[in-house]
Amino acid sequence: MSKNNPFVAIVGRRNVGKSTLFNALIKKKIAIVDDHPGLTRDVITYRIDTEFHSFYLSDTPGLDLPDHEELSESILKTANEALGKCDLIVLMFESPHVENFDHDLLKAVRRLNKPTIMVVNKMDSPRELVHMSNFYELGVSDIMPISALRRDNLDLLLDKITAFLPRNRGEEAIADVRVSFVGKPNAGKSTLLNALLGYDRSVVSDIPGTTRDSINEFLNFENKVIEIVDTAGLRKRSKIKESIEFFSLTRTIRSIERCDVVIHLIDAETGITDTDKKIADEIVKANRPLIIAVNKWDKIEKTTNTFKEYTERLHERFFRSADFPVISISAKEKTRIHKLLTSAIELSEDSKKRIETGELNRQLERMKRSGRLPGFGSDLKVFYATQMSQSPPTFKFFVNDASKFRADVIRYFQKELQKLLGIKGLPIKIKIEGKPRNIRNVQEAIEHREMKRKSRGEKRTGTTYGKGTKKGAKKGRRG
Q: pLDDT tens, 128-148?
A: 888 898 898 888 878 999 999
Q: Which of 334, 89, 38 is nearest to 203 (CA)?
A: 38
Max CA distance (Å), the chain: 94
282 touches 276 (CB < 8 A): no
Task: Yes or no: say if 312 and 321 are a contact pair by the CB < 8 Å rule.
Answer: no
| Alpha carbon distance 66, 98 (integer Å) | 19
- List the beta bridge partners of residue 329: none
Which burial class, exposed, middle or buried, applies to 413 when counting CB atoms under 10 A from its CB (0-12, 13-18, 19+)?
A: buried
Name the nearest CA neighbour of 254 among 56, 33, 30.
Answer: 30
Other CB atoms within 10 Å distance of the CB of residue 476: 18
Residue 427 has pLDDT above 50, yes or no: yes
Cβ-contact 89, 115 below 8 angstroms = yes
Residue boundaries of the structural domains of the chain:
7-163, 177-350, 362-434, 442-478
For residues 342 and 280, is the Cβ–Cβ distance under 8 A? Answer: no
pLDDT recorded at residue 469: 45
State the Cα angle at 126 between 125 and 131, rounded to 5°. 95
* More confident position, 26 or 41: 26
Lowest-pLDDT choice from 6-15, 78-87, 460-469:
460-469
Q: Which residues contact 378 (CB under 8 A, 6 or more apart)?
A: none
Range with the poorest average pLDDT among 78-82, 111-115, 135-139, 173-177: 78-82
Scored b (16 or more CB within 10 A) or e, 380-397 reads: bbbeebebeeeebbbbeb
What DSSP line would sit under 145-157, residue for residue?
Answer: E-BTTTTBTHHHH
Q: What is the mean pLDDT of the chain?
A: 79
Choosing among 3.30.300.20, 3.40.250.10, 3.40.50.300, 2.70.98.10, the CATH entry for 362-434 is 3.30.300.20
DSSP 299: G
List pLDDT tens digits, range 328-366: 999 999 999 999 999 999 999 988 888 999 999 999 999
CATH of domain 7-163: 3.40.50.300
The residue ranges of DSSP E strands in 268-311, in sequence order, are 290-295
7-163 and 362-434 share one fold = no
pLDDT tops 60 at residue 448: no
DSSP strands (E only) in 146-271? 177-183, 215-221, 224-230, 261-267
pLDDT at 54 over 60: yes
CATH superfamily of 177-350: P-loop containing nucleotide triphosphate hydrolases (3.40.50.300)
Candidates 278, 234, 259, 264; CA nearest to 327 is 264
Can you say how many angstroms the Cα of residue 190 is from the centroid of all Cα atoms in its chain?
Answer: 15
This prediction has a pTM of: 0.63
CA dihedral 251, 254, 259, 264 (to 10 degrees): 70
pLDDT at 6 over 70: yes
